[in-house]
Structure 1
């Protein structure tokens, strides 16, 4: 796992330096003369058929952990989705330009397996070396925090809002550089990060802690820092998302079509600054949002399909010259107004370059080819996008070295210096919001402690916190209670009444609009407080939960539930780490009046 308990002296020393430079594992990427890039791109494009060019525009998932020998279940899944059985055959049939890895498609298991899969897919893309064959751009959603794909032993950093609480561009850059190094080592060159959305809506169901915060300047600073971290020594393509800004919505674009009602002046002041800074920092790719912004385009079309927004604003006004990648085309937000056959054509007409995960790849590819044949799209327009995509691949070195060293990947992912960086970055993010009774910090003592509340099978935060108490002389009991029933709530409260202290973890307890009955978390906390025993409440995701949990006296926000975040929490509860994070958002009251409960920048220390 990413971190282990260590001595107080070591942590103090680490905090004193906060972020020491990473050991130089590799020299800075060599500069590629623009003439060399132009020559390779022009030559490659000249030898590509129209079908190969159109294939370069698409990136999608494939099922299986091996390019040529997937499991029987994955063969069946590929056959149902793509008409062929193996990932290599999917690449070859559709002449894909990119692949996106997911755990649910069984692409991500261990560094050795991932690196081997990447090499297998690259060999499939290159085929027999015939002209016109091009390496893949392999991607994944590695935002860190609550959205990460690489499993342990990979470095698992806190997410964007945690970094916002630390207020450190240097920490944000370090997190991106280490993440990028590990991704690159296994052949993944396009992390869909950083998030450039400014989360000014506490009820945002899709962004939330994925954003650096509610202040445009803070978000812009940390976005630019992460662009530099990804694209510097790590040499992977940063993807700033989701343009033109997904931070002020109460609708999830996965399930609906959000409308952002900012005026043009508000968009310029709130949403635009992080994207402007990302472009100034040289970001190579920007992802679109499936949102309607009437102030930018009154047509009602989502930004992904809007020439006014993508070509007019992003390319024209902001001067972006890199690759525009759509958010996933299987999301409801982009499918609400037009059929699946029209969406990829309209996205290209709007100015997009890379078409991510259409719901029917064969249909989408055929639609683009028909649009070229009919004259709705020109081959020159296709060439514009392919040139941009090829340019990214050349600058990453894929033209010369598309394969990775599998043994080096094993050594790089989860390297000791990377895990040490996780701790240094995570510690300053912890935010103490309330400590009214002065309960914290706790002394090491022979006490009985119940740790309960929201849990995750992948990270086991309840057990991690309980183990931390046990290591400090307490008698700790771990009792996960994720979205508990009334019977579980009653039993947990009865158990808490027999303990000296209860620590309860909550995750998005404010959101009672989703299918899961998250309001049960609110009832669990109320029942624990009613015991009269000391209770410490910890938000392991959205800091906004405190507005929906009346009566508590001790509350901390970790913004994520990684092992490193839980380790920092235990040390802070015992006074071994002084909380230094400050809220990167404003927490309003729960009544909808907009009254401020805790202001931006609030944070306690001890």
Structure 2
């Protein structure tokens, strides 16, 4: 026994030595306690007014005139020192603070609880991730940046002090008041994160307070409603709860907030720590050597008010050693009681003055010695900048924690082999998580509400059996990720059932502690913790699953016996397109949004186009993806992101060229080869010896085009009897319209017409469709596969580009119409290819016929920018991409690459087919229907412009006249910082 006692005393001695091993970095404001400004203010204050400087009352910007007058009365009559703002909106808060400051004898210190940013209290502001989410992040620099940004926002709303960060070590999963507000259970991680956040704020002149001293993490009572008791011995408190406080004090934090706690090991009297002289003066001031600002937790909380009278309790808090009283309920009474204590000798006037000087020094440090009112102009825009929003996204991405990834189930690969389903548990409708999954693959969605009964769950479970991969999102119905679980028993059984399979991925949008309440989830093949149910967390989790981004977060708390603090797998991302803000890749979102919107609106106002889709990606991240206008001028169908556009000649580089490049890799297509090598009927034609290098660069002397449909007409305008029939049949299978069917042999006549067409005299660049009409036959001659099926199998399906294809099988309200064809089809063209030659070939050709939305087309084009790779798969060899996309005859007037277009200066050196700042290595193509796509390898920049400028007639050239497409393209370069 004596030995044990000796060891305890020794350990206590070691702990005692920890306090004195190194001194704290003193808060900067302490240097100003005897400044000229502080001296001048002190001279103007009466004893009562000095006491009033120690008081901060609650203010709201959403409570109307009566509340405002109450605050003004306290300011004017009691001369209070500060305000802590709660609910409201930024503009109203600034206006009120301006008015309150104007009424105050001494500038008011303004504070706010902004643990996760202004969104904790104010409408129309950003809520950054909760601290437990941040605890998963491995890069503390991100928390510093958050501190910098929160400081900027706090100051913009007229305030100077943030009651943050929380440095409580949350080692009690059932903690009802700290929990997700803590950085976690690891004291080292808590300290590191808190210091980084604090420094970001204080480096930018916002005072912070470490809370809730001496540690509120291991409680199961909410101090708002009762006084929690912590019964740990002193040694445990010293080694765990107090550790982050010691660290952050040493790092120079300006303030500490004291909690309402009963801690017998520190004060055996049972009084709340807020009123405890042994805890505040004895421990915090003397042993921990803290000279900064000591603030009480709110003095209206039951944890301190129970059994204590207003005013008296405030006096006791001052006697215990606090400098600033937060949320005093009865200001006159508090001043009266503190004054009585001074008169009774319980505290000296000198000590009161010392604390007042400390508060005034803080006011000078935050700039209140040079106070000026703030403007509310553009305040919402100022608070919600793109930089601030990008930080939010970056924090959410960095927090993603992968706890299971059996057999590298994600990033998901082999999209062409998978039938994918998503199920959102705890949601009422399709979620942002599910909608983001759609960006990568075709996904069937299911929703299981919180209260789903057995029949509803059984129906979903049965349907899920048909899928190769099930992606489940587990959602929270609460604004805050509390340690609660409200899912019905059948819904929980579904989770457990899915977890037993090897084809299920879970993304958990709840407090990680809740994982311990779900049987078997630790057995799932894939498990991601996203910590909270925000729209951004859902979006980034979906991107992680398909490899748009990676993950390296670590679990900040233990989850029963299932997972330990620090668990987390590294998953590499960046194999597919990501979706983020322009600033993430060094582009200016304001330039992109305002100028592209303006140019599109100009085009729509001029009736150059009814609407369109514009997508911009840089560094394989989609940073601008918007839709504009309507399908036509005559209806009200708004353009949506999944609507299909007729790609016209962009089909050449989206269908013919990928197939030819793949065949080139396989030694089945040669650039020095000829049409005669692939199509026997061309062996004795005038085109037999022309090499593909000339053909693909449009210098093969081919005619530009032939209006094949006109060859079917008689002189009276009717069709020759054997060409077109009103009904389909074996001999007339090619559908032109519902009442026009073309003879099955007519495509051969098209080939024959091309074969027999005369060559142009001069070998020079002249754009021609001829070869690309023949391209499917060239491909089929080497693959013995249907051209369309070959492309789906080798490119589109595995890319996840599910909308790209010929003859789209989509409802008409999902396909944007093109022209009213008065000449050939005599009807509006809607859902079928616009090009007459392509429709006569059954809608499938190498020169026109493809439909797609911008997002799916981007996957194919990004593969080009990636020099043949996408989604972890090589489609075309790097050298082949380079060979086909370079300017092939640089010493000639021909600007073309092989199949691709290049920058084309005119005789005066002016480039007008693309942005003037596009690089020489850039390439792309345009389409007759109003399409433009362009890729710039040097900038890793992708641009897609989809429109239907031919609606209602191809004679509409306003899009060309306005030069909208290339003007928008130029905006991209100007947005690159």
Report TM bin, short chain. 0.7 to 0.9
Determine whether 1:50 maps to 2:44.
no
Determine whether 1:122 maps to 2:122.
no
The answer (yes or no) to whether the contact 2:174–2:220 under 8 Å persists in 1 is yes
Of residues 524, 527, 540, the one that matches 1:555 is: 527
How far is 1:231 from its partner?
0.5
1:368 is paired with a residue whose SS is helix
Structure 2 residue aligned with 1:252: 222
Q: Segments of 4+ in structure 1 off by > 6 A? A: 511-514, 531-534
Structure 1 residues 134 and 562, CA gap change in structure 2 (3 angstroms): farther
Structure 1 residues 354 and 530, CA gap change in structure 2 (3 angstroms): same
Determine whether 1:383 maps to 2:350.
no
Greater displacement, 294-303 / 312-321: 294-303
Of residues 108, 121, 131, the one that matches 1:136 is: 108
**Separation in 1, partners of 2:481, 2:163:** 29
Of residues 530, 536, 540, the one that matches 2:509 is: 540
CA deviations on 1:26-79 (whole Å, 9 max, x unpaired) are xxxxx98946852221221221123322222222222434xxxx6xxx345x3x
Determine whether 1:148 maps to 2:120.
yes
Structure 2 residue aligned with 1:21: none
**Separation in 1, partners of 2:183, 2:431:** 28
Q: Any residues of structure 2 matched to 1:232-381 within 5 Å, and which?
A: 232=203, 234-381=204-351
How far is 1:123 from its partner?
1.7
How far is 1:315 from its partner?
0.5
**Separation in 2, partners of 1:598, 1:328:** 36
Q: How many residues align?
A: 531
Of residues 430, 434, 442, the one that matches 1:466 is: 434
Of residues 541, 546, 556, the one that matches 1:574 is: 546
The answer (yes or no) to whether the contact 2:448–2:491 under 8 Å persists in 1 is no
How far is 1:324 from its partner?
0.6
Structure 1 residue aligned with 2:180: 209
**Separation in 2, partners of 1:272, 1:87:** 37
CA deviations on 1:490-523 (whole Å, 9 max, x unpaired) are 64664565455463334499x9999xx8454666
CA deviations on 1:179-199 (whole Å, 9 max, x unpaired) are 111111111211111111111
The answer (yes or no) to whether the contact 1:507–1:541 under 8 Å persists in 2 is yes
**Separation in 1, partners of 2:188, 2:366:** 30
Q: Any residues of structure 2 matched to 1:11-30 within 5 Å, and which?
A: none
**Separation in 1, partners of 2:121, 2:544:** 28
How far is 1:537 from its partner?
4.2
Structure 2 residue aligned with 1:8: none
User: TM-score, length-normalised on structure 1?
Assistant: 0.79
The answer (yes or no) to whether the contact 1:243–1:289 under 8 Å persists in 2 is yes
Structure 1 residues 504 and 364, CA gap change in structure 2 (3 angstroms): farther
Greater displacement, 172-181 / 425-434: 425-434
How far is 1:476 from its partner?
6.4
2:422 is paired with a residue whose SS is strand
The answer (yes or no) to whether the contact 1:204–1:249 under 8 Å persists in 2 is yes
1:587 is paired with a residue whose SS is coil
**Separation in 1, partners of 2:267, 2:315:** 19
The answer (yes or no) to whether the contact 1:141–1:149 under 8 Å persists in 2 is yes
Determine whether 1:605 maps to 2:578.
no
Greater displacement, 401-410 / 93-102: 401-410
Q: Any residues of structure 2 matched to 1:1-16 within 5 Å, and which?
A: none
How far is 1:391 from its partner?
0.9
Determine whether 1:97 maps to 2:81.
yes
Determine whether 1:588 maps to 2:557.
no
**Separation in 1, partners of 2:94, 2:461:** 47
Structure 1 residues 508 and 345, CA gap change in structure 2 (3 angstroms): farther
2:474 is paired with a residue whose SS is strand
The answer (yes or no) to whether the contact 1:529–1:535 under 8 Å persists in 2 is no
Structure 1 residues 454 and 54, CA gap change in structure 2 (3 angstroms): farther
Structure 1 residue aligned with 2:688: none
Structure 1 residues 254 and 269, CA gap change in structure 2 (3 angstroms): same
The answer (yes or no) to whether the contact 2:82–2:109 under 8 Å persists in 1 is yes
Q: Which runs of 5+ in 2 are unaligned?
A: 1-27, 572-977
Structure 1 residues 235 and 477, CA gap change in structure 2 (3 angstroms): farther
> Which of 1 and 2 has greater Rg?
2
User: TM-score, length-normalised on structure 2?
Assistant: 0.50
The answer (yes or no) to whether the contact 2:30–2:358 under 8 Å persists in 1 is no
Q: Any residues of structure 2 matched to 1:400-549 within 5 Å, and which?
A: 400-407=370-377, 409-410=379-380, 412-436=382-406, 439-442=409-412, 447-453=420-426, 463-474=431-442, 481=449, 484-485=450-451, 487=453, 491=456, 494-495=459-460, 497-498=462-463, 501=470, 503-507=472-476, 518-520=485-487, 524-530=491-497, 536-549=505-518
1:321 is paired with a residue whose SS is coil
**Separation in 2, partners of 1:599, 1:374:** 55
**Separation in 2, partners of 1:249, 1:38:** 42
Determine whether 1:169 maps to 2:134.
no
**Separation in 2, partners of 1:497, 1:291:** 52
Structure 2 residue aligned with 1:186: 157
Structure 1 residues 339 and 556, CA gap change in structure 2 (3 angstroms): farther
The answer (yes or no) to whether the contact 1:144–1:158 under 8 Å persists in 2 is yes
**Separation in 2, partners of 1:493, 1:235:** 57
The answer (yes or no) to whether the contact 2:260–2:274 under 8 Å persists in 1 is yes
The answer (yes or no) to whether the contact 2:475–2:533 under 8 Å persists in 1 is no
Greater displacement, 394-403 / 353-362: 353-362
Structure 1 residues 119 and 561, CA gap change in structure 2 (3 angstroms): farther
Structure 1 residues 434 and 209, CA gap change in structure 2 (3 angstroms): same
**Separation in 1, partners of 2:32, 2:212:** 32
CA deviations on 1:470-502 (whole Å, 9 max, x unpaired) are 433445658584xx4465x76466456545546
The answer (yes or no) to whether the contact 1:146–1:210 under 8 Å persists in 2 is no
1:187 is paired with a residue whose SS is coil
CA deviations on 1:192-230 (whole Å, 9 max, x unpaired) are 111111112222221112112222222222222222111
**Separation in 1, partners of 2:211, 2:81:** 20
The answer (yes or no) to whether the contact 2:166–2:210 under 8 Å persists in 1 is yes
The answer (yes or no) to whether the contact 1:301–1:337 under 8 Å persists in 2 is no
CA deviations on 1:368-417 (whole Å, 9 max, x unpaired) are 34444555444333222211111111101111124334347555312222
**Separation in 2, partners of 1:91, 1:476:** 60
**Separation in 2, partners of 1:87, 1:442:** 58
CA deviations on 1:544-573 (whole Å, 9 max, x unpaired) are 111110122143222233333222212112
How far is 1:352 from its partner?
0.6
Q: Which has the higher contact order (CA 8 A, sep 6+)?
A: 1
CA deviations on 1:155-193 (whole Å, 9 max, x unpaired) are x32222222211322121111111111111111211111
How far is 1:530 from its partner?
4.7
The answer (yes or no) to whether the contact 2:125–2:380 under 8 Å persists in 1 is no
1:292 is paired with a residue whose SS is coil
